[in-house]
Amino acid sequence: MIKYDFVLYSGQHRDFLDKLQNLGLVDVTVTGWEASEVERTLISNIELHKKALSEFETIDAIGAAQYGTYEEAISIYVEVAKRRDALKLQIEKENKECDDLSIWGDFSVDAIAELTKSGLDIHFFSMYAKEYDKRVVKWKESYIVELINEFDSKAYFVVVAKRGEVIEIDAQELTAPKDTVNAVEKNIELLESELKKCEERLLRCAASGGVIAEGLSNLESELQLSRVVATSKVEADGMLVILEGWATKSTSESVDVMLEGYPNMVYFKNRPTPEDNTPVLLENNRFAKLFELIGGFYSLPKYGTMDLTPFFAPFYMLFFGFCLADAGYGLVLMLGGLILLLKGGKDMNSAAKLTLLCGSATVVFGFCVGSFFGIQLKDLSMFSDMRERFLTPDNLFTLAIGIGIFQILFGMTLKVISTTIQFGFKYTLSTLGWMIVLVSSLVAFLSPDMGVVGFEMSSIAYKICVGVGLAMMLLLNTPGRNPILNIGAGLWNTYNDVTGLLGDVLSYIRLFAIGLSGGILAMVFNQLAFGLSPDVPVVREVVIVLILLVGHTINLFMSSLSSFVHPMRLTFVEFYKNAGFEAGQRGFSPLKKDK
């Protein structure tokens, strides 16, 4: 990044920022911004435009006429969407009323009104049908009682009595209906007709999505400009304005050309310092760029430090496949990723490709484990020659621990490289000492199985390596500091490193546990499908298919969620910590006018 400091007359402020927006290459620092009333209105309008565009994605508006301007399109959308929502609520209310009235059947409201004029009132009651049958004979001795309907174990009846007469009936009295089912159904038809007209008008709004997107871009540019203006530093009694901007090295020459041609403005160009709030712009290849979506859930790296995205990307794929560990589920994910790639649009392109990659890793790992929708491939005759090659639970446990140790050591190696680049090699000696202790201890522990002679735990070579590593950890952890203080700090760091390493390595057992639990659930659903289905032709097949579909859908959802979250946790906690990741504050966001 290249840092710019601009000094210009306050009267040129807006014009200069407009030029930067048209250039689209400079990020202007904004600090301490609080939205004004005008800016809050802008934010509200931006959210409204985004909501409209999001809704239009689900509407097929091919062939519908467009509105001329985005102002017209968005205003009509607001009006029609508000009326549509009100109609839907009213229709829902009317449908509920229709259900309530259907109990009483089709009656004459006018006839009830005539009875009321003649001094008679009709009371509406409900109670359990069994109780009604027991008491109705006695009630008819005193009142005119008529059963109207029986529904859901309840009896609905009316009692005709003189006005003011006290009715001693132990039942729930209901509010007298004010309308009939037929009248409410006609009203629903009118409301649905109006709703259809609203949806036809929304089609035109959806067809105008392009002009609405252009309006959204204008509003966002206006808000971006307003934020910069509101937070600019004003000096010399309001005569001068000072701005801080950032550009990439590759585009700084184009920025210089624009600045050289702008009148009455002074600018200073410098390299950023550690104290600066430097924005971050990640530059990765096409493979690693897909995993920026994962890294974005945590934080961008601090400017000047190493971007770990290309280094955790292969591990994340591997961990995802390890957790899901079923070739059939992997094929389903790949199919979903392919559909998302074809139908999801440009915004979902990265997520679709990431799904395809993780799905393919799951297919490969699923075949290594020998699981296909919970079916154990080793039990099939066609795979009889490969039974000994499939990974067993013991193999998976060892593999999970081994991968964890490798990633932790790999992270430490990256930390050494990054620290050397930033501060110099001498600041990595403590970390190198810890790595020497770990690697030598690991080799000595595995030497009997690896056939290594002369490097056992009791050997002189091993003790020398551990001694050198401990000396580096205790004496060289902070170059230039008092050795006694270094020893005290080194002992404390060693305690933290040892206890932290144990927890870090054990965390990778989750890969084994999640993969094993998902596979067991898949097998259980298969056994339930064939064990609980009745021995009746056709019915048996239908029940089997239903249990398999429901069971595997649930298991796929739960296992995929775990396979997404837990590798992320291993990345952000274990790997980031051992690799010395430092979180950044903000990404590079230049002033620009999107088209």
Question: What is residue 374's DSSP assignment?
Answer: T
Paired residues of 27 in beta bridges: 246
Write the DSSP string, 95-138: HHHHHHHHTT-S--HHHHHHHHHTTEEEEEEEEEHHHHHHHHHH
Alpha helices in 208-308 (DSSP H): 209-231, 252-260, 286-290, 292-295
Cα(430)–Cα(487) distance, integer angstroms: 11
C-alpha span between 540 and 530 (Å, rounded): 8
Q: d(Cα 242, Cα 194) in Å, to the nearest integer?
A: 57
Tracing tokens 């010399």 back to the chain, one arrives at 236
Q: Enter the tokens of residue 98.
A: 């229709």
- Residue with token string 């591997």: 318
Question: How many other C-beta atoms are found inside a 10 Å radius of the C-beta of residue 136?
Answer: 16
Q: Which residues pair with 160 in a beta bridge?
A: 122, 144
Pick from 510, 515, 523, 580: nearest CA to 551: 523
Pairing of strands 172-174, 265-270: unpaired
Predicted model pTM: 0.73
Angle CA(469)–CA(475)–CA(478) in degrees, nearest 5? Answer: 110
270 in helix, strand or coil? Answer: strand
Would you state the structure tokens that stand for residue 415, as one six-digit string? 């930390």
What are residue 375's DSSP bridge partners?
372
In angstroms, what CA-CA distances link 161 with 113, 132, 138, 145, 364?
A: 14, 18, 16, 9, 80
Q: Tens-digit pLDDT profile for the chain (595 aa)? A: 899 999 988 888 888 988 888 888 888 888 877 788 888 888 888 888 888 888 887 787 777 777 778 788 888 888 888 998 899 999 999 888 888 888 888 777 778 888 888 888 888 999 999 999 998 898 888 888 899 888 888 999 999 888 888 888 888 888 888 888 888 888 989 998 998 888 888 888 888 888 888 888 888 888 888 888 888 888 888 889 898 999 999 899 999 999 998 888 898 998 888 778 888 888 899 999 999 989 988 888 988 888 999 999 999 999 999 999 899 999 999 999 999 888 877 778 889 999 999 999 999 999 999 899 988 888 888 887 787 888 888 899 999 999 999 999 999 999 989 888 877 888 788 888 888 888 888 888 777 766 666 677 778 887 888 888 877 777 777 766 666 666 776 676 776 777 777 888 889 999 999 999 998 899 998 888 888 777 888 888 888 899 999 999 999 999 999 999 999 999 998 999 888 888 877 888 888 876 4
CATH class of the domain at 2-63+209-270? alpha beta
Q: Which of 136, 114, 115 lies closest to 125 in space, CA to CA? A: 136
* 191 contacts: CB under 8 Å, gap ≥ 6: 87, 90, 91, 94
Phi, psi of 185 (to 5 degrees): -65, -35
CA distance 291 to 318: 13
Separation CA 90–CA 107 (nearest Å): 23
DSSP letters spanning 154-173: EEEEEEEEETT------SEE
Q: What fold does the segment set 107-179 form as a domain?
A: Translation Initiation Factor IF3 (3.30.110)
Among 476, 10, 420, which Cα is nearest to 233's? 10
Give CA–CA dist 147/149, Å, rounded. 6
CB 105 within 8 A of CB 156: no
